[in-house]
Structure 1
Amino acid sequence: MINVGLGAAIGAVIRYVITSWWKKLRIDWPLATLFINITGSFLLGILTNNFASNSSIMLLFGIGLLGGYTTFSTFNVELISMMDEKRWGMFALYFGLSYLGGVIAAICGMMI
């Protein structure tokens, strides 16, 4: 289980660096979270297709690294914030892009 914790720590640091960089752009849209979750879905698709039978790789990279890298909780907080601010168009677009984009990215990753 140390490999899961190590992977999660690395994934969280990568997510933090990407989010910090993106915040410097001062864009009023959660592009960092969208990018992180879509790329995480894509990478998980690649891992699943190529290494599903290798539990060591899946624990370190799939559950650990990508689990620490992607962020469902931040996604939900951002959605709730959009609801509170009654930004319904942004809410619908972000929700749709995140879920549909994540599924499409995972499928594309599984094709590699």
Structure 2
Amino acid sequence: MDNIITFEDFTKVDLRIGTIIQVKDFPNAKKPAYQLTIDFGDLGTKKSSAQITTLYSKDDLLNRQIVAVVNFPKKQIADFMSECLVVGAVKEKDVFLLHPETKVKNGSVVS
């Protein structure tokens, strides 16, 4: 592997558990996506654009807990400002969201 990182590099990534509290269509995105609002407890809410429309409906996503990186800089995607990165496993072109097995407190650290 050419992209080896150190443990110190990994500790800089702030992975947290959040609950999706709002899901909107994102018609201005280049690829099909949703606009998500995610509750991270004491960290507050953050917005994210997610290209997960092939496997998940808006109803599937509402109130679902997910894993996200919360310490990336904001990124402009079309007319939307994404504030975190929802994490998933990719199989072919589909993204399968990562999530805790049982409900945990929003904002919990993933390590």
Structure of greater relative contact order (alpha carbons < 8 Å, 6+ residues apart): 1
Higher strand content, 1 or 2: 2
Relative to its length, the structure with more helix (as a share) is: 1
Structure 2 length normalisation: TM-score?
0.26
